[in-house]
Every structure is written in C-alpha cells, then in structure tokens.
Amino acid sequence: MNFDDTPQEAEFRAKARAWIDANAPKQYESDLRKASLGRVVLKDANVLDVAKAWQKKKADAGWAVPHWPKEYGGRGASPIERVIWQQEEGVFGKLTAMFIIGQGMCGPTMMAYASEDQKRHYLPPLGSGEKVWCQLFSEPAGGSDVAGLRTRAEKDGDDWVINGQKIWTSGAHYSDYGILITRTDPTVPKHKGLTMFFLDMKSEGVEVRPIKQANGNSDFNEVYFTNVRIPDSQRLGGVGDGWNVSLTTLMNERMSIGANVATGFPELFDYCNSLTLDGTPALDDRAVRSKLASWAVKASGLKYTSFRSISALSKGQRPGPENSIGKLVAGSMIQEVAMYALDLQGAAGVLSGPEDADVAGRFQAMLLRSPATRVEGGTDEILRNIIAERVLGLPGDIRVDKDVPFNQIPTKGRA
C-alpha cells in the first residue's frame, strides 16, 4: 500500500506540472481558489473567455483532452494519466466546467459511433474548446425516465425531420453542436423506438430559450425543434438503437462527474478556522467541532474512495457503478454545509451580497445552487436505485411500462 507514482506516472506528472507551471493563467489563481459551487467570479475578466483561452492553449500543446487519441486532438494518455493531469491542473480545472458535458459525454459518444471522417472533423475543435457541445436528452416528459422522451424524428428522403422539445439543456445558449436523442418509432416499447443524432445548433428550426433557475442564474435552457432537418449521416448508431447509444453517454457521465465532486468541506473548514463566536475561536466550540468532524470524514472517505478507484484504474480495471456514491454523498453534504455556514453567521447569514456577507457570499451562493446537484446527472433516488440494483443485486423496480407500446403508456397522473 502506497501513494507513489510508478516511474512512468512520475514522468508524466513532472511533464504536466512543468507545462502548467509555465502556462497556466496564474493571474486568476486566487480568484479561482475562492470560487465554489454556484459562483465563479474573475476580477476584470469574463469566465467564458478565460476558459476558452486556457482550453485552446492546452490544446495547442496537446493537453486539452490528454486521454483522447492523438488524431482527435488528445495525446493518447492512459486513464491514470488523465487523473494525474486533473490533479496537476488543480484549481485551473475549475475553468473547464463549460466543456465537461461536451468533452466528457458528447465526445466519447461521437468516438464510439461517428464515422472516421466525422471524428476527425468534429472532435479536435471540441477538445480545444473552439466548439462547445451540449447534451439534448431530458424532456418535460422524461428526466430520470429519459426513455419516456417524446421528441419525434421522422425519415424524409436522406434526412430526418425533428419536432419536439428538450429541457434543462445546460449550455445550449452558447453551444455549437449537440447530441440529440429522439423517438423514431412510438409503436414499440419505449426503449426500442429511440434513435440518436448529432446536430448543428444553428440549424433552421432550433430555438433556444434560457430558463431562469431557482438561484437566479441561467445556465440551462429549453430547446424547441420545429421541422429541423438532420442528414441521416449524422445518425449515431442504428435506427432504434438510441437507448444503447445513450448508455455510452451516461456511463461516461459517471466517469467524468464522479471524479471530483465538490463537498463544500474545505471552504467550511477554512471559514471556521478564521471565525470567532462570542469572542472565542469557532474551532474551540464543541458543537462546531462535532459537525466539522462528521463532514470531515465524509470528505476524506470520498477522497480515499476515489484513490481506491484510481488504484484500480492504475491496474487497468474499469471503475464500476460503485462510483455512484460520490455525487450522492457530496450532493446532500454541500447543501447541509452551506446551511450550516449561514447558521454560523446568525441573522446576518441571510445577507447574500458579496460586500455584506462573510467570505463574499460564497456560502449563500452555494446554498442556492446546491439543490441542483442532487438532481442533475441522476437524482439521489436514481443513484440509490443504481447502487441497490447494480452493486447489491436487489431486484429492479417493477416496470409497468416495460413491454407496452410507447403510444399506449398513460401520460397523466391525477386526472
């Protein structure tokens, strides 16, 4: 048992570290350190611009998507080297948030199902951040139950004609392309009539309407499709095979999102470390200590769980569904942490302006953003189902809609 790199890993790490040291946008380092869930603010600069510039610089040196094959813009790094890169990129990795969906989910799906020409054309600019991609899966009728989606694709000559609506599409308002799952056959059971495509978000008939979120920001959107034409050559996988294709995407979602989830603990500990309550250090307070200790062991438990996964990766094994615990634990934790940080501020905890609130309102922003963590990319309940079924081997839910033709499934709850 040890934490040492193998000689090859150490060599890779040294190379990555040297390059980052020489090239990272260090003028933003301290702002990025202060950034947390719900708030990334850079002094005198727009986050998107800085993020794109950093991504491009990495791409020019082969570091943008190190684990992708060279011909698609990567450097063919192994899974463990990818982890080492992320460790070394550290706080600058916070700049990659806007690329995670595209590079983490759309890219691998393209890699698995697009033609060779398409891969060479579309993947390098996706890796370099010059083109941004979004994931058009969820619909009003199906989020957890994605396979309940209703957006139609109908064949017309060499094209498909798309009509319907997606929702919760992160980044659609600044995306150039998207991967889109549709229903091509409503007369068969729901998982069997789906087909996947990729499309240009500037296509005629695509309308993106930002949704104002509960925290006041607008990071996700509704996307409407009215007679949008997609050439058959942009189909990913067979007609009716969309469910299997989407599993590729969702499996990669697990790998990229599960890797390094925010718990809010380091922020809370720092805060308590500098806080006084009634004239004595907060860290001397028994109740504060007890709360912190319980969260500390969750945070360290997650950290060392990921170390165990990394060790498995390093031996060439694939991470399994047990990685679902990361977001499940961190999601509720960051929400509770934020509430507690406000509680420590007394009545003034209600103030959220950067000038009035402690630590520039970072915990107030965290509080307001955190409910989404428990929903996006698989809700807490869905993650518990996955653990129960895939890890513990308990029976699947009884599915009343499984073998029923899609167009005969009821669509209303209470009449």
Ligand X SMILES: Cc1cc2nc3c(=O)[nH]c(=O)nc-3n(C[C@H](O)[C@H](O)[C@H](O)COP(=O)(O)OP(=O)(O)OC[C@H]3O[C@@H](n4cnc5c(N)ncnc54)[C@H](O)[C@@H]3O)c2cc1C
Residues 276-315: x where in contact with another protein by CB under 8 A, - otherwise, as a string: -------x--x--xx-xxx-xxx-xxxxxx-xx-xxx-x-
Contacts 24+ apart (CB under 8 A), 212-219: 213/372, 214/368, 214/371, 214/372, 215/38, 215/365, 215/368, 215/369, 215/372, 216/368, 217/369, 218/173, 219/170, 219/171
* Minimum CB distance to another protein smaller for 155 or for 399: 399
Name which of 1 and 347 has its Cβ closer to another protein: 1
Which one of another protein, ligand X, none interacts with residue 289, CB within 5 to 8 A by kind? another protein
Distance CA(225)–CA(206), nearest Å, equals 5
Angle at alpha carbon of residue 88, lines to 50 and 354, rounded to 5° = 45
Binding site for ligand X (CB under 6 A): 101, 134-135, 137-138, 143-145, 168-170, 220, 372, 375-376, 379, 381-382, 385, 397
Least Å distance, CB 366 to ligand X, is 14
Q: Which residue is nearest to ligand X (CB)?
A: 143
Per-residue contact track with another protein, 327 to 366, x per CB under 8 A? Answer: -xx-------------------------------------
Which of ligand X, another protein, none lies near 268, with the C-beta cut-off 5 to 8 A by kind?
none
Q: Which of 71, 356, 397, 403 binds another protein (CB under 8 A)?
A: 397
What's the chain's Rg over C-alpha atoms? 23
Q: How far apart are CA 302 and CA 406, in angstroms?
A: 40
**Whole-number Å distance between alpha carbons of 382 and 385:** 5
Over the window 209 to 248, marking each residue x when it contacts another protein by CB under 8 A and - when it does not, the resulting string is: ----------------------------------------
The beta strands (E) that lie in 177-335 are given as 177-183, 194-200, 206-210, 220-231, 235-236, 276-277, 280-281
Which C-beta is closer to ligand X: that of 5 or that of 380? 380
What is the spatial distance between Cα 259 and Cα 173, in angstroms, rounded to a whole number? 26
- AA letter at 88: E
Residues 133, 321: Cα–Cα separation, whole Å: 26
> From the list ligand X, another protein, none, which binds 395 (C-beta under 5 to 8 Å, kind-based)?
another protein
Smallest distance from another protein to CB 120, Å: 34
State both tokens at 289.
């200590």
Contact residues: another protein, CB under 8 A: 1-5, 9, 269-270, 273, 283, 286, 289-290, 292-294, 296-298, 300-305, 307-308, 310-312, 314, 322, 325, 328-329, 381, 383-385, 387-389, 391-398
